[in-house]
Each structure stands twice: as C-alpha cells, then as structure tokens.
C-alpha cells in the first residue's frame, strides 16, 4: 500500500506523514458525514473572512497616492 506523503513541513515531518493521517482516519470513524461537511464549510467560511480582511487592507493601501510637493517650473 502506497503512503500519501504530505510535505507541508518537509519530507520527514512526523506530523504530516504519521500523526495527521491517523487523526484524520480516527475522526472519520467518529464523526458522521454531515458533521464533517459542516466543519469543512466552517473552515472555508473562516478562510473567506480572512481573505475579505486582506482584500480590504489591500484596497486601502492601494488608494494612497504618492506624497510629494508639486513645483511649477517656468
């Protein structure tokens, strides 16, 4: 059986390679499918909230024009 290698923290990461898949498998047996769908949707909504905060901040920063002094040249 081929193991899925999640390399978010590196190829030798204990959590990514051993612990996380075991926890996920355990929770998969304990939680009904409907509960899993609910928490997944909640995670997505939280990420969308963070994205909206970032978008608002980017918008505010983009509106600032360069500060300087205009000098008339004759």
Structural domain boundaries in the chain? 32-62
Which two three-digit tokens encode residue 59? 């918008």
CA distance 67 to 7: 45
- pTM, to two decimals: 0.48
The rounded radius of gyration (Å) of the Cα atoms in the chain is: 24
pLDDT tens-place string over residues 9-51: 667 777 777 777 777 777 777 878 898 889 889 999 999 999 9
CB-CB contact of 30 with 23 (8 Å):
no
Alpha helices in the chain (DSSP H): 14, 20-30, 33-63
């Amino acid at each position: 059986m081929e193991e899925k290698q999640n390399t978010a923290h590196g190829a030798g990461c204990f959590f990514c390679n051993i612990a996380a898949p075991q926890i996920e498998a355990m929770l998969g047996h304990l939680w009904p499918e409907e509960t899993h769908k609910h928490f997944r949707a909640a995670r997505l909504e939280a990420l969308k909230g963070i994205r909206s905060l970032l978008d608002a901040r980017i918008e505010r920063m983009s509106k600032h024009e360069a500060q300087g002094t205009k000098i008339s040249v004759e």
